[in-house]
Structure 1
Amino acid sequence: MTVDTAPLTARIDRRRLRDYRRLLPSAVRPRLAGILARVVVLIVFPLALLAMWMVIIDGTFFANGDWALIAILFPLAIPPVIGVVLLVQAIRRRSGVRPYRLNGFAIANGFTYQPYSPAPPLPGMIFTRPGQSSAFVTDILRRREGYALEIGNHTCTTGSGRSTTTYRWGYAAMRLPVALPHIVLDAHGNNTIGRPRLPIAFAKNQRLSLEGDFDRYFTLYCPEGYERDALYLFSPDTMAVFVDEAARLDVELVDDYLFLYFPGQLATLDSAMWERLLATVDALSERLLRWERWRDDRRQRSTDVSGGILMGPGSVLGVARQGRRLSVKEDWWWVLGAALAVFGFANLVHDLITGWFS
């Protein structure tokens, strides 16, 4: 596929940009009043407090070298710096340049563009991460012709209060012609200090080692009992495609979707990234036709179509229950902590009773 990246860098018609950004939702183009309110709090209030201190101490502490007082007042400079950074970011978002360019890129390459959407009900692990308190997707590009393809940037928040954590993933979702077992490829190329960056930890007994040097680039997880199916799906030539084209992308096969994940953004204004991503998608799309022939022999040959699609007399297309989802790694630390707490409390009660009656 030839990728037209000119709209990502071409000179912008300011009149068309002005007309386009008027159509952007407030989630993408924040209101000016809301921006100024935050800036006033972060910039004006600390500066006013600092000015008050200067009046009280008559500005003489600089001359006297009272660096301890300077160290106390130094944190007051941090909020204004943060406010300036947020103001610059908000002004760039209000300009509408990014969505305008991505919209032009989408039109030039047969996609539709949506700047913002609530998180879609997709079965991928970044969309179903446990404990999500909020989630949304930005810069969504979709293509329906040929094989269905969706590319976007997913943001989710877990926890609340001070324990809030935000995760950002770029993703590409390809619709498969047939439902496949739940298989995950953890790319070593985007891990941190050897630790997986996957949003979900899978049980280690589901790891499958493949031939050649594939294990240098990916760790493959498949449901127990589906090892032969994984070997069929990831034939040597298929493994070569993943190593050559997707070595820095985590991969997930779940239901009738193939997901590519990147810890950051995939829908960007980077022309080179788009060329690499769409070349990867095109290379992987050739595997889809081969995977269409896969069948799960564990499903009973029946005309009952529950959980599958009837393909003909006595044939059902789908995945048996045990192959639909990988087992998640159990976290036993909280169990150990609770056991130690109970043990300590029991000893405390025992000591109190013993001391009372001794």
Structure 2
Amino acid sequence: MHTTEYSTTSLQTAALTERVKRRDVREFYRAFAARYPTVRNRYLRVQRVVMFIGGSVTLLGALLMALGSIREIYVGGLNGDGDLVPMALNGVWMLGLGILFTWSFRRLSTRRGTPSRHYRLARFAADNGLSYEPGPVIVKHVKPWADRGVLRLTRVMRPVSQRSIEFANYELRAGAAGTGGARFGGFCAVRLATRLPHILLRAQDGPADQFTLAALPDRAQRLSLEGDFDDHFTLYCPEEYERDALYLFTPDVMARLIDRVHGFDVEIIDDWLFFVSSRDVVTLDPRAWQGLYDAVAALSDKIDRWERWRDDRLPSVPRVAASADAVAENAAGLIARGVKPPAAGSRRVAKSGRRLRMRLGAGELLGMIAFGLLMIGAVVTIFYSL
């Protein structure tokens, strides 16, 4: 399968920044909203209002508690009438909630889809041979990420291509029911024709390198590469797959990554290649689009080589077409020799190479500590109030 390298010089970005006429926007949005009713989602508006009010009230409350604590110290000293401790703890509690509300409001606001934004993005998509879906939509086909929690995509763009490619902004809520912590950002997902071992390259110049809610790979899986590659990326691969990582990331591939992939983490997992950022990638910023297309172009003509990779840790299975009886006979022969035949759908990568071992990231630890402190503050405040 031939993969055409993307050309950033042919990328048409005028629709993202040029002036638009209100009449054109109104006419477009009437038909657009009829096709995608989710763009008029009133629940998201209510969410923003609730976050704004919650953030304003709690931050104001924290300010008042701080002023009250200062007054208590000024009037009664540190050994006053006992109101200082609960007042200070209430202030800390409100400050934490205020920060959480404010952060959520900012995230929701930056992703708010206005008619003019949808108009610009739809025109940009049309100019560059892309389809555009505003979302939000909960997806499961991007299975490696969907298995991590509830994956919701917005502003999804897909080119007309032999290979499945998606540009999208994402919200990933951990846990099967999406009740855990949330990650936000954007990615380009490229579907591969074969499964590969789980390999992660973390960009040193990423916008939120260590302070992310995502778990980080165990340090024992870090692979140091030649040259100055380690100054730009940190590569992780499953143990005993170092030789395979070197086959995939040859010196010319590493040189391309250094020259053209800036600010993106690169992740290979199962039959998907991801370029990931903690910032949105489907935006009205032409420079962001140029950077994303540069990242995809850096590896686009190397994917064919990657798809020729085979895991020699698996039992050899004939690749010729066979009848069901022949397949069963071959499986029975493997079992008779004491070799467990690979399961359907997982025969491309051995179990030890399918997933990296993960540890808690700094951001996740800080979030847990902050939540614990807030809970302790609430309990102490209630105790003093009794």
TM-score under structure 2 length normalisation: 0.63
1:255 corresponds to which of 270, 294, 300: 270
1:318 corresponds to which of 319, 343, 348: 348
1:150 corresponds to which of 166, 169, 186: 166
Q: CA deviation at 1:288?
A: 0.6
1:167 corresponds to which of 142, 161, 183: 183
Q: Which residue of 2 aligns with 1:351?
A: none
Secondary structure at the aligned position of 1:156 is classed as strand
Q: CA deviation at 1:330?
A: 7.2
Distance verdict in 2 for CA 1:33–1:153, change over 3 Å: closer
Distance verdict in 2 for CA 1:186–1:3, change over 3 Å: same
Secondary structure at the aligned position of 2:156 is classed as strand
1:186 and 1:198 in contact (8 A); partners too: no
Give the distance between the partners of 1:255 and 1:218, measured in 2 at CA: 21
Alignment pair present for 1:111 and 2:130: yes
Distance verdict in 2 for CA 1:320–1:198, change over 3 Å: farther
Segments of structure 2 that go 5 or more residues without pairing to the other structure are 1-6, 58-93, 319-326, 328-340, 366-386
Paired residues, number: 281
RMSD of aligned Cα (Å): 3.8
Distance verdict in 2 for CA 1:8–1:299, change over 3 Å: same
Q: CA deviation at 1:184?
A: 0.5
Distance verdict in 2 for CA 1:164–1:28, change over 3 Å: farther
Deviations 1:241-281 (A, max 9, x none): 11111131111101111101001100100011112211221
Matched-pair identity in %: 37
2:141 corresponds to which of 121, 133, 136: 121
Distance verdict in 2 for CA 1:17–1:112, change over 3 Å: same
1:124 and 1:259 in contact (8 A); partners too: no
1:268 corresponds to which of 283, 287, 307: 283
Alignment pair present for 1:96 and 2:115: yes
Give the distance between the partners of 2:286 and 2:203, measured in 1 at CA: 23
Q: Which residue of 2 aligns with 1:246?
A: 261
Q: Which residue of 2 aligns with 1:20?
A: 28
Q: Which residue of 2 aligns with 1:65?
A: none
2:197 corresponds to which of 181, 198, 204: 181
Give the distance between the partners of 1:109 and 1:122, measured in 2 at CA: 23
Give the distance between the partners of 1:302 and 1:37, measured in 2 at CA: 55
1:195 corresponds to which of 186, 190, 210: 210
Give the distance between the partners of 2:174 and 2:112, measured in 1 at CA: 24
Q: CA deviation at 1:191?
A: 5.8
Segments of structure 1 that go 5 or more residues without pairing to the other structure are 47-74, 310-315, 334-358
Secondary structure at the aligned position of 1:28 is classed as helix
Give the distance between the partners of 1:205 and 1:138, measured in 2 at CA: 35
Q: CA deviation at 1:11?
A: 2.8
1:259-298 paired onto structure 2 within 5 Å = 259-298=274-313
Deviations 1:211-260 (A, max 9, x none): 11111111111111111000111111111111111131111101111101
1:184 and 1:221 in contact (8 A); partners too: yes
Deviations 1:34-81 (A, max 9, x none): 659948x949xx9xxxxxxxxxxxxxxxxxxxxxxxxxxxx9xxx9xx
Q: Which amino acid aligns with 1:326?
A: L
Distance verdict in 2 for CA 1:224–1:7, change over 3 Å: same
Deviations 1:180-233 (A, max 9, x none): 1110111111265x7263712222211111111111111111111111000111
- Please tell me whether Structure 1 or Structure 2 has the larger radius of gyration of its CA atoms: 1
Give the distance between the partners of 1:211 and 1:166, measured in 2 at CA: 35
Higher relative contact order (CA 8 A, sep 6+): 2
Give the distance between the partners of 1:17 and 1:4, measured in 2 at CA: 20
Distance verdict in 2 for CA 1:329–1:102, change over 3 Å: same
Q: CA deviation at 1:18?
A: 1.5
Give the distance between the partners of 2:316 and 2:111, measured in 1 at CA: 58
Q: Which residue of 1 aligns with 2:40?
A: 29
1:8 corresponds to which of 16, 32, 38: 16
1:157 and 1:165 in contact (8 A); partners too: yes
